[in-house]
Amino acid sequence: MTLRTQMSFEKHDTGKLYLIPTPIGNLEDMTFRAVNLLKEVDLIAAEDTRNTQKLLNHFEIKTKQISFHEHNTESRIPELIKKMEDGLNIGQVSDAGMPSISDPGHELVERCIEMGIPVVSIPGPSAGMTSLIASGLSPQPFLFYGFLNRKPKEQRAELEELSQEKPTLIFYEAPHRLKKTLVNLQKVLGNRKATLGRELTKRYEEYIRGTLDDLVQWSQDTQIRGEFVIMVAGNPDGTLVDNADEDALLALSIENQVQKLIDSGEKTNAAIKQVAKLNQLVRQDVYNQFHKIG
């Protein structure tokens, strides 16, 4: 493995790439540093130049833009690299939040590092972090996943892989896919605690807290609008019974359910906890029944 050390800016003859976050809704969340950098760089590489122009107009920023999005990444990166090699400083922005986080940008960062061009990340808004600390779920550890696959089968496969993760899970979702995604989350992960963050920092900001069952019901009864962050409690035991095995497990007695999980490698207390949750029973009652207490 070859280590790459980014030298101090004064020792570089090239320009720099500035990763500049933009507000996720409320323009007052723009930092002084971000505004000043957008004024000072030679060029702004924007995900959607029309959207970014509204931001630039608001802050009276006159810097020229060039489009840089998922559909022109391959052709645009060599052009941007050449400009920075010639000494130009480029500010890269997405439509909202941090560049590269569920948005374009990572490939450009990789190429800059390969070419020895300094990369400067500016702190700023992130929908995932903003919603997590208000969700009521454990803020750490967390696992940020972003957007799940749009295809139902592939999405369920992704969730199966995540089902054993202990950290709080964070997803992004578009309004027209929210209902189906919540149903898949409930089916694969079970009825865990969960929170929806909607229209963060905007006028109609809202948090819907409950369980996945509650959120599925809410989505069926509500006209879905806005962009969403979905946060789901992690699996405290690190394992879950596969959906395909649930019916077979429930056909057994409580004692045999616990024993089957133990035989599969689960620790006794974790098995008791899972059986209690699966059967919607009090954990102590399952414990007493398994150990034949009382």
- pLDDT tens digits, one per residue of 128-181: 999 999 999 999 999 999 999 999 999 999 998 898 899 999 999 999 999 999
Q: DSSP states of the chain as a string?
A: -----PPPGGG-SS--EEE--B-SS-GGG--HHHHHHHHHSSEEEES-HHHHHHHHHHTT----EEE--TTTHHHHHHHHHHHHHTT--EEEE-SSBSTTSSSS-HHHHHHHHHHT--EEEPP---HHHHHHTTSSS--SSEEEEEEPPSSHHHHHHHHHHHTT--SEEEEEE-GGGHHHHHHHHHHHH-S-EEEEEESTTSTT-EEEEEEHHHHHHHHHHS---S-EEEEE---TTS----HHHHHHHHTS-HHHHHHHHHHTT--HHHHHHHHHHHHT--HHHHHHHHTT--
The tokens describing 215, both together, are 């959120």
Is residue 82 packed enough to be buried (19+ CB in 10 Å), middle (13-18) or exposed (0-12)?
exposed
* pLDDT for 269: 80
* pLDDT for 113: 95
Half-sphere exposure of 232 (CA within 13 A, CB side): 31
* pLDDT for 271: 83
Q: What structural domains does the chain harbor?
A: 13-125 (3.40.1010.10), 128-232 (3.30.950.10), 243-290 (no CATH)
Instruction: Please name the amino acid found at residue 65.
Output: Q
* pLDDT for 280: 85
Q: In 3D, which of 159, 170, 53 has the Cα closest to residue 102?
A: 170
* pLDDT for 231: 98
Give pTM, 2 decimals.
0.76
Ordered per-residue pLDDT tens for the chain, 294 residues = 455 656 555 566 899 999 999 999 999 999 999 999 999 999 999 999 999 999 999 999 999 999 999 889 889 999 999 999 999 999 999 999 999 888 778 999 999 999 999 999 999 999 999 999 999 999 999 999 999 999 999 999 999 889 889 999 999 999 999 999 999 999 889 889 999 999 999 999 999 999 999 999 999 999 999 999 999 999 876 554 555 467 778 888 898 888 888 877 777 887 888 888 888 888 888 988 898 886
* pLDDT for 5: 58
